[in-house]
A = this chain, B = another copy of it.
């Protein structure tokens, strides 16, 4: 088992990326290929006293950043001899030298690089980033949250098949309930994309439960929720922002409160901490980029070493469970027949 970690991914790169890789190698016995600027990565690696841990540095002199976007990014993602850490790392997965790629870098850049270098699983036209969203009863796989901001109705059906397979194979959910994110529970509500995707999902063999509003999603009504990458990103980011906002208000109010209230606050602190953990991305580490023909995991830019370690863990779990083969099988079964749902001509090789 060999996993590639983008050493130049996180906002505070390369320190958390290197430290998390060392933790993962130590804890999971997995081999790590650390891709990045060797002059910056190696000293940090040595400082971690890796000893005989199976970690190898692969030099990549360039990197993609949050500034990379538009056509310039597409060109960097596609270029044959690209020297940036994402391209070099993903090529190691494509060549079979490693089983999965992990990065905490620019989501759009990672998705684009994976899309162009690995291609998609036959039957899938675009990739979808599929994180776990905490709910009242457990978790829900939400996809896409940013890899494909503009979607056709057919993409949402493909996302649904992939999300359903992922929930079943990796999360152990039987016959996952699939919802369509909308601004109204009733079928017929939504923007044009939702209205067009609804009948396609209804006609599919999935366990489609109809439109789902954020309230139902958080209430645990669905195991999988599909949406375009723009709306999904707004859902995810606003949920994170509101949770953080509330935590900060509680902290501030308690800070300036009379001493007896402060004492009360100290007593509820463990409760607040466990809630925060529930919403903390670093618990899960990274989300799978479903649909590309290789295992790719994208973590939060804010990732610390613990989040990187956990990202390697989820990547290892997916590789162990042979998720890619499962996805290929499910997609072949549910999407391969020529149907009005998928225009085969558009499938990207």
Contacts and interface: CB of A to CB of B under 8 A. Distances in A.
Interface residues of A, number: 63
Interface string A61-76: 0000011011000000
Contact of A67 (B186, B214, B265): B186
A143 B200 CA distance: 30
Contacts of A272: 250
A69 B189 contact: yes
A99 interface: no
Contact of A264 (B227, B229, B265): B265
A203 interface: no
A53 interface: no
Nearest to A72: B188
A218 interface: yes
A146 interface: yes
Interface stretch (A20-28, A83-91, A167-175, A252-260): A252-260
B264 A268 contact: yes
B189 A108 contact: yes
B235 A234 contact: yes
Contact of A183 (B219, B233, B265): B233
A47 interface: no
Nearest to A276: B246
Contacts of A181: 234
Interface in A244-279: 244-246, 248-250, 253-254, 257, 260-261, 263-268, 270-272, 274-275, 278
Interface string A192-218: 101000000000000000000111011
Contacts of A265: 264, 267-268, 271
User: Can you list the 5 inter-chain pairs with the closest CB atoms, starting with the nearest?
Assistant: A264-B267, A264-B264, A183-B233, A214-B238, A149-B191
